[in-house]
Structure 1
Amino acid sequence: MKTEQWLQEDSSQNEGEIRYQLRLFITGASPNSTRAVDNLTAFCENNLPGNYSLEVIDVYQQPAVAQTEQIIALPLLITNGTETKRRLVGDMSDTQKLFRYFSLTP
């Protein structure tokens, strides 16, 4: 399986500034991984349009990255670019958790 990676960005942001830099670590094309990508993408498009970048990293294709980030459970979302690095494990189907994770009001 080839590495599934992409970056989504809206150029209408102030000087290209993206508030949320997201990295989603997955395990190939497993059902849980596919759900996590779909759920997170939908959530971000609906609630953070143009205010995030998303990189999807398949740990089967890039095991060194997983080791560097000390990943022990997947799928795993890591947010960089905020005050602290935050982590969320699961298929991203619980939108209430995602709202809390991003400190948003539903």
Structure 2
Amino acid sequence: MNNSNQPQDSSEELIVESTEDFEEALAKLETQKYVLRLYIAGNTIRSMRAIQMLNKICKKYLEGRYEIEIIDIYQQPEILEKDHILAVPTLIKELPPPLQKLIGDLTNVDKVVIALDIA
């Protein structure tokens, strides 16, 4: 039986055995950088709303800890198949794991916050 604080596999699971471990894990969560990719289709109202909502959510919950890449599928159509994009707007959270994919204009803030695991 291994009682170390190290994850036993490639997941981000951490075994917390003391207050010090808990505080360390909490500090790590508070400094994790989020890498987000938003796929949009031109300057449509839905696309602009998704950009606006994502910026608003990130500023409120992830201030200074996020990176957003916005990809217009009209300008980069080859990326649709490569990244398995079936509808737009689509938000992909690449980091921290696990990878998450949300489809829609992101107006349901609670759903976005839960999916990004920032609540």
Question: TM-score band, normalised by the shorter chain?
Answer: 0.7 to 0.9
1:59 aligns with 2:73: yes
| Larger-gyration structure (1/2) | 2
Q: Hey, what does 1:34 align to over in structure 2?
A: 48
Aligned to 2:38: 24
Normalising by the residue count of structure 1, what TM-score does the alignment of the two structures yield?
0.78
Q: Which runs of 5+ in 1 are unaligned?
A: 1-16
Residue 87 of structure 2 aligns with which residue?
73
Contact 1:22 1:78 in 2 (8 A): yes
Matched length: 90
Question: 1:23 offset after TM fit, Å?
Answer: 0.2
SS class of match (1:92):
coil
Deviations 1:8-49 (A, max 9, x none): xxxxxxxxx862100000000010000000011011011110
Does 2:62 match 1:48? yes
Q: Which amino acid aligns with 2:102?
A: L
Residue 95 (1) aligns with residue 109 (2): yes
TM-score, with structure 2 as normaliser: 0.70
- Root-mean-square deviation (CA, aligned residues, Å) is 1.7
> Does structure 1 retain, via aligned residues, the 8 Å contact 2:32–2:96?
no
Residue 6 of structure 1 is matched in structure 2 by none
Amino acid at match of 2:48: T
Identity fraction in percent: 34
Extract unaligned runs of 5+ from structure 2.
1-30
